[in-house]
Amino acid sequence: MELMIRYQRLFHSAFVLFLIGFGLALIRCKPTPIPVFPKAKNGILLVDSDLLTNGNILPLEGEWKIQEGFGTQSEIGLIAVPGFWEKSTQSRFNGKAFGAATYQLRVLGLSPGEYAIKFHEIHNAYRVYINGKRLLEFGKPSQIPQAEIRKIGKPIIHFFVEEKNPNLEITLEISNWFEGKGGIRRTPEFGIFESVIALDKAKRNLDFITFGALFFFGFSSFFFYLMTKEESSSLYLSFVCATLALRIFFTEEHYIFEIFPNFPPLLEFRIDLGSLFLVSAFFLTYIRSLFPEEFKTTPFRIFVIPNFIILGIFWLLKGDTLETVFELYLIYMFVLILVVFTVMILAVKNKRTGSGVFLMSCLFLLIGAINDTLSRLAILPTPYIVPYTFLLFIAFQSVLISIRYRSLLKFADSLNQELQIKFRAISATVQEAILVSDISGRILFWNEGAVKIFGWQAEEVVNSPLEIILPEKVRKKHRSAFLLFFNSNRIKETTQTIEMIGLRKNQTEFSLELSLTNWMIEKDRYIGIILRDITQRKILETQRDKALDLLQSDLHTAEKLQKSMFPNPNSKNWPFPWFVLYKPMGPIGGDLYDIRKTKNGTWRFFIADATGHGTQAALLTMAIKADYDTVEESDSQPGVILEELNLKIHPMFHNLNSLFSAFILDWNPTTGQVQYASGGHPEQIILTENTKIVLPKTGPILGLKRNAKFRTQNFEFKNPFRLFLFSDGAFEVFDKNLVHLFGEENLHSYLFANLHTPIREILDSHLQNLYQFRESQRLTDDLTFLAVSLGESYRPRSTKEKSE
């Protein structure tokens, strides 16, 4: 920022010198009367010899003779110079642009001496004869279109007028097979050799000054942009200056051909006029960046996009079409001027920064254009000033950018002061200690929160080392960490907090937590430290850890207690083989199963699933088990057992908004009779040799209705069969993307396909299938799965076999 301020001051000094030089130039340009130059009539120009001896340059304008072709004696007509063939009185060229013609002008009244003619825009190639002697061939004029070689430039020819024949005959052979407007576009200038050369030199010097000014202002604007990257208008102004500087090589004196003689003329022509479209686009973008509120996005696009479209069209066309497009674009340019002035007036009205300077610069440019137009028409006796007002316009744009940067700096400075005030106000109210230090670890700022936490007042610790807040015993331990962070070559942002021991003024130690950050101001780096007293939090964390340990111990006890409630297939000599897969989500779960023998000799299988999982579901399961134990040995049918169980648990479950599903099946090993009832439980499965029997629900979920009824279904099996009891966790398993469900159909199909597989292998294999389906070994619900083989001859295993 300091460098930018210095550079801005240097620019201001350069601008002041420019204004002084510009003022002196205007003072030296005394408004001398502009002589009234004669004009040619009927191909003859009568000149007063004293007119040229005063250093005046005579425009060779008026009526020239014209005839078709080169060196022919065809019909002779008259044509205005400057002018185009289409307005000639010669019938061959009337209304046409292409062809070859010979121009002729006789100048009478000259004094003997050395003279010169400077030619400007003559389309497209020509030869110059003075008193019948060819002095110049510019390009290669030809009466055949394919033979013409176009060339652009402003050559000067000089010659002597002899005393014997002071009259002058000028003949031009011109061909045009490219331009949409054939003829002499700008008037040739005639005068004494020294005067013409002096005028040409002055013009070249002005071009050099203009190029230097554009380069200086463009570089200054671009340098401003690189320093801050904030003011985009300076970037666009540099584009405008660069494009205008480039045009100096392709317009007016066409220096590009002096530097590169073989440069393609057609390419030079397209670059010359095509750059106007780019200048317009860059200038509109520059105005948009200056006054975005006045030059809205939609109108900006409406006016800037056609510039690039027309540029593309212009690059492809030639001839009449090209000339028509360019003439239309000149009308469009007039509309753009109106848009620019409208935006400027709105910006001044709204008091935008620099709008007055911008409007003034445009007015200077407009005044210069009006002055030169009136001067050229001999209405005002003033010199041409457009080149100077144009330089003044560019200079004012740089002043405008400088003003905007100064405004930006003032805003940044006021914002910085405001932020400092807010920072001090906020830091005084927060409970945390806020410290600021330099990279050497010297305390520079100490807020009220630090006073409350450490006990030192700000004046006691400012300029002291940061280690003063640490006990002596830990200073060495943390000094390396501080030095690593404060090292300017390795410093970096950190989002982690650091816990350490702090030291208060009264020499008491406490636990603290700190966060570190850093920032740069100019070339100096500063460290921000936020410290918190976490003594109370440490106490709470200790209490929490003890509570978690106690809870973990209680859960472990509850796990043992819950598992003790369930029968174990290896705990005694069962008269039938059975296995169970029990996978709660946590240490304890919400599923329940039981196998017991009733008083009448039947075996009763029971499975239940409480809503939810975890500790709450486990507590509900224990309550269900306690109530079930009071009714399970009854000789009543399974449906009656569920009704009695529902009556017992309904008051408690209804108040807790909890439910559970249950399934009871009785099997009489003597008769083979099977009875079951299902309270909202998933469909359980019985498999025989060739049949799959699905056991659907026979009543609602338990705990939902007080007087719920449950039907008992009866079956009779003479042959062995397999019974599969499971909770919904055995099939309600989604894949990892929570899109596809494993489902009951897959489970049933799997069981039937493994009819002869050992039941233990079936359970283990099914668990692996679920893990593979989820692509994880973590399930989302409690899982209970029992497999029982009933009706088969089964020898209970001995204790030795069990241990094996």
d(CA 648, CA 634): 15
Q: Which CATH architecture has domain 2-27+202-403?
A: Up-down Bundle (1.20)
The H-or-E segment that residue 326 falls in is helix 319-349
**Residue 322 banded pLDDT, cuts 50, 70, 90:** low
User: Residue 482 has what pLDDT?
Assistant: 56
Cis peptide before 124 (omega within 30 of 0): yes
Mean pLDDT rounded to a whole number for the chain: 81
pLDDT at 804 over 50: no
Q: Where are the beta strands (DSSP E) in 197-254?
A: none
Mean pLDDT of 314-340: 73
pLDDT at 491 over 60: no
Whether the CB-CB separation of 62 and 80 falls below 8 Å is answered with yes
Residue of higher predicted confidence among 315 and 319: 315
Q: What tens digit of pLDDT does each residue of 730-766 get?
A: 999 998 888 889 999 999 989 988 988 999 999 999 9
User: Residue 494 has what pLDDT?
Assistant: 52
pLDDT at 481 over 60: no
Per the structure block, which two tokens stand in for 742? 């494993």
Any idea what DSSP says for residue 673?
A: E
The H-or-E segment that residue 212 falls in is helix 193-228
User: Residue 606 has what pLDDT?
Assistant: 93
Judge: domain 568-803, CATH 3.60.40.10.
yes
Mean pLDDT of 607-631: 79
User: Residue 411 has what pLDDT?
Assistant: 66
Most confident of 271-285, 488-502, 630-644, 765-779: 765-779
**Residue 633 banded pLDDT, cuts 50, 70, 90:** low
Apex 569 CA angle, 566 and 573, nearest 5: 120
User: Residue 28 has what pLDDT?
Assistant: 44
Q: What tens digit of pLDDT does each residue of 637-691 get?
A: 999 999 988 888 888 776 777 788 999 999 999 899 999 999 999 999 999 988 8
**Residue 480 banded pLDDT, cuts 50, 70, 90:** low
pLDDT at 195 over 70: yes
d(CA 464, CA 460): 8
d(CA 347, CA 365): 18
User: Residue 593 has what pLDDT?
Assistant: 92
Report the CATH number of the 430-524 domain. Answer: 3.30.450.20
User: Residue 762 has what pLDDT?
Assistant: 92
Helix then strand count (H, E) for the chain reads 19, 29
Judge: domain 44-187, CATH 2.60.120.260.
yes
* Pairing between β-strand 99-108 and β-strand 44-46 as defined by DSSP bridges: parallel
Q: How far is CA 159 from CA 110, 219, 341, in A?
A: 13, 44, 49
Mean pLDDT of 308-314: 78
Mean pLDDT of 258-279: 78
User: Residue 594 has what pLDDT?
Assistant: 92
User: Residue 764 has what pLDDT?
Assistant: 92
Q: What tens digit of pLDDT does each residue of 571-603 get?
A: 778 889 999 999 888 778 888 899 988 888 899
The H-or-E segment that residue 105 falls in is strand 99-108
Q: Where are the beta strands (DSSP E) in 534-590?
A: 578-583
**Longest CA–CA separation in the chain, Å:** 158
User: Residue 736 has what pLDDT?
Assistant: 85
**Residue 242 banded pLDDT, cuts 50, 70, 90:** confident
d(CA 315, CA 328): 15
Residue 609 phi/psi, 5-degree rounding, is -140, 110
Q: Give the N- to C-terminal CA distance of the chain in Å, as an integer.
A: 85
User: Residue 278 has what pLDDT?
Assistant: 83
Mean pLDDT of 43-71: 87
Mean pLDDT of 118-132: 90
Q: What tens digit of pLDDT does each residue of 378-413 get?
A: 566 566 566 677 777 777 777 777 777 777 667 667
d(CA 436, CA 158): 80
Long-range contacts of 306-313 (CB under 8 A, 24+ apart): 306/332, 307/277, 307/278, 307/280, 307/281, 308/277, 308/281, 310/277, 311/274, 311/277, 311/278
pLDDT at 34 over 60: no
Mean pLDDT of 268-287: 81
Q: What tens digit of pLDDT does each residue of 444-471 get?
A: 888 888 888 888 898 888 888 888 888 8
Residue of higher predicted confidence among 112 and 621: 112
User: Residue 487 has what pLDDT?
Assistant: 53
Choice among 62-66, 425-429, 506-510 with the minimum mean pLDDT: 425-429
Query: Looking at the DSSP assignment, which residues form a beta bridge with residue 184?
Result: 83, 122
Mean pLDDT of 363-374: 72
* Pairing between β-strand 168-176 and β-strand 99-108 as defined by DSSP bridges: antiparallel
User: Residue 29 has what pLDDT?
Assistant: 43
pLDDT at 77 over 60: yes
Q: What tens digit of pLDDT does each residue of 341-365 get?
A: 888 888 888 888 878 888 888 887 7
Whether the CB-CB separation of 603 and 597 falls below 8 Å is answered with yes
